[in-house]
Amino acid sequence: MQLEGRVAAVTGGTAGIGRAIAEAFLAEGASVAINGRSVEKGEKTLAALGAGDRAIFRAGDVTHQADVEGFIDATVEHFGRIDILVNNAGGAAGLQPTVLLSDEVWDTTMKWNVYSTFWATRRALKPMLEQKWGRIINISSVEGKHGKPVLTPYVAAKHAINGMTKSIAREVGTEGITVNAICPGLIITDIIRDNGPATAEAMGITFDEMVALFARESSIKRPNTVEEVAAMAVLLASDVGAGITGSLLSVDGGTASY
């Protein structure tokens, strides 16, 4: 029960990494607010979590500032505080080689990843600074340390998140608040299943070949799992993790060189 009495907000918490983190936090005693675009999916997730009044859902699209800030405000209003923020929502769709890339895809990717992280972090920092305790965990990517052709907007967004992580950690390090980024390798989540085939096609390979490419680059020669990322998130959210801040922590099976 490392998180007993804590309150966490997890963006994109109805599936994939976000849901796994929400489940892990609940198992460690925290109360959790999750957000997502689908009300139906949110209600089903709450029912599956079975956490009663320790879990709430608020519908919203993280590419919209009002939805992001409203989610943080709803967390504080319902639970009376916010201790942990997980900026998990993110992704990319419509990827193409840069010469063919549209302004719309670039803009959406930045809002989905970078702006949503900024909006949520700025809103959550106010109550965290008042209570002089907080944990901000940004879900970045191994591509925030390296890069691949065609993934350019996503790679740029995750590099930006990593830089934001380091800078904000410097701002609030003496205030009892840590700011870290987890950089997962490839994980076969719903969003990868939905958008991955089109991305692979733009790369000139099949989806299975793309998965195999990512796996070959790792030491473990397989995709990572959501549970492996959630375990790192629990550590960073806990009191034990107080000495870790401004870090870009890889959970990528040994893919990244740093």
Assign residue 120 the CATH number of its domain: 3.40.50.720
Residue 236 lies in a domain: yes
Has residue 111 been placed in a domain? yes
Task: Compute the mean pLDDT over every residue in the chain, rounded to the nearest whole number.
Answer: 96
The whole-number pLDDT of residue 213 equals 87
pLDDT in tens, 81-140: 999 999 999 999 999 999 999 999 999 999 999 999 999 999 999 999 999 999 999 999
Count the domains in the chain: 1
| Four-CA torsion 37, 39, 44, 47, nearest 10 degrees | 110
R_g of the chain computed on alpha carbons: 17
In a domain, 203, yes or no: no
> Is 51 within a domain?
yes
**Owning domain of residue 112:** 7-187+226-251
Active-site option among 25, 57, 112, 154: 154
Per residue in 165-224, pLDDT (tens digit) is 999 999 999 999 999 999 999 999 888 888 889 888 988 999 899 889 888 999 999 999
Among 64-73, 119-128, 145-154, the least confident range: 145-154
39 is a domain residue: yes
154: annotated active-site residue: yes
Is 162 within the bounds of a domain?
yes
In this prediction, residues 38-42 reach a mean pLDDT of: 96
- The verdict on pTM exceeding 0.85 is yes
Residue 249 has pLDDT above 90, yes or no: yes
Asked if the structure places residue 258 within a domain, the reply is no
Read off the amino acid at residue 256.
Answer: A
Give the CA distances from residue 163 to residues 29, 66, 154, in Å, rounded to whole numbers and listed in that order.
31, 24, 14
